[in-house]
Amino acid sequence: MQFSSSSVNRTPPTLATLVLLSGLSALSMNLYLPSLPFMATYFQTDYKVMQLSIALYLLVNAALQILIGPIADKAGRRPVLLWGLALFLLATLGCIYAPNIEIFLTFRMFQAVIVVGIVLSRAAVRDMFEQDQAASMLGYVTMGMAVVPMIGPAIGGLLEEAFGWKANFWLPFALAALTLLLAYRDFGETAAASGKTLMQQFREYPELLMSPRFWGYSLSSAFSSGAFFAYLGGAPFIGTEVFGMTAAEVGIYFGAPALGYFFGNFISGRYSVRFGVNRMVLWGCWLNAIGVALSASLFLADTGTALSFFGLMTFVGLGNGMSIPNATAGSLSVRPHLAATASGLSGAIMLGGGAALSALAGSLLTQETGAMPLLWLMLTTAVLAICAISVVIWRERQLGL
């Protein structure tokens, strides 16, 4: 099969294809999370080592985004996307048949190549629409994507109890194979190849890195999502070890932020054009911080429960659903001709920070500490997100933009 930019279809991808591509990326990250404690037993390792499968995945994910953007600006979106999906299939088989934790973690890092789905679906939207309309479309794309993390952990917990942890890797393998076929048929090229060498593409990074607006949008997105990534690293431990929940229960409760994320993305899709990206990001960052602050207040008052901990995470998801699509559209609009590069770089900043926060959250938690170290970490990142977007708004007012 030749994955050329001209094969099969020249028309832009449909919304359904973009949603599936983004959803598969999300599914590969969180489907297996309820299985982490049981996988630690299977591989005869400590939970903190098993939890590295999240942090290392996010770290490689971030590094790959730095490469994928310029490569896709040079070669086109379509061939990079199709090769990424094919490599993900091979990496997933490696995870399933890994004989020990070291080999599993190696192939788990290779699985991060699925990030092509997120990077290039975002870039394709920006190729087709202007800033505010792109924010609206990204809201709808990620609204559909939010369904996956909303139901993914619940499905993962049920699969774990019925078939064991490997079922949580067979499912994304099957879905990736179907997605590869769909993308081959439907994902037509959305941007002409730049004609520049790869090194010339990388030399254009300073054009983005020297833009205060790019950094403002990227950091607001990174810090806002940072609360969620910290949650990814710590919530399975909180559920199983602090509250004594089963894998299926953790899976059901774990999807609370995704429920909020779904509605946050709907709000982005509905109102971004009307209110503009800056106000949507600011409001989203505030909702994120309020949800974490309320949860922390309950635990400080010694009245926190599993229901309050997971339930108030819906505010984190709601805020992220409003802030991330709009901040992403803002960062991609700083230099429209570098849309894929900007998508990769902003995503790398977000996921690089997410990897660190996920690992830190896992290392801070014990049965004695309870949930508070995680909540303090989440609140800190939420406040920093408010500061980042506030600087963007202040600077634009100063410049009269």
Q: Residue 252 is part of a domain; what is its CATH number? A: 1.20.1250.20
CB-CB contact of 146 with 321 (8 Å): yes
- What span, in angstroms and rounded, lies between the C-alpha atoms of 24 and 12? 19
- What span, in angstroms and rounded, lies between the C-alpha atoms of 201 and 5? 18
DSSP 336: G
Residue 380 has pLDDT above 80, yes or no: yes
Query: Does residue 194 lie in a domain region?
Result: no
Query: Does residue 131 lie in a domain region?
Result: yes
- What span, in angstroms and rounded, lies between the C-alpha atoms of 78 and 356? 31
Query: Does residue 7 lie in a domain region?
Result: no
Helical (H) or strand (E) element with 282: helix 277-300
Query: Does residue 232 lie in a domain region?
Result: yes
Query: Does residue 2 lie in a domain region?
Result: no
pLDDT recorded at residue 143: 63
Cα–chain center distance at 96: 23
- What span, in angstroms and rounded, lies between the C-alpha atoms of 3 and 80? 8
Average pLDDT in the chain: 81
Query: Does residue 304 lie in a domain region?
Result: yes
Query: Does residue 250 lie in a domain region?
Result: yes
**Token duo for residue 263:** 């509605």
Q: What is the pLDDT of residues 93-105, one digit of tens each?
A: 999 999 999 999 9
Please, which contacts does 159-164 make with residues 24 or more away whose CB atoms are closer than 8 Å?
A: 160/34, 160/35, 160/38, 160/247, 160/248, 160/251, 161/246, 161/247, 161/248
Share of the chain above pLDDT 70, in %: 86
**Vertex 377, ends 374 and 383: CA angle to 5°?**
140
Q: What is the pTM of this model?
A: 0.68
Q: What is the pLDDT of residues 172-228, one digit of tens each?
A: 999 999 989 888 887 777 666 656 666 666 676 677 777 888 888 888 988 888 888
Query: Does residue 197 lie in a domain region?
Result: no
Q: What is the pLDDT of residues 107-138, one digit of tens each?
A: 999 999 998 887 787 777 767 666 566 666 66
**Structurally, how many domains does the chain consist of?**
1
pLDDT recorded at residue 8: 44
Residue ranges making up the domain that contains 55: 15-188+204-399
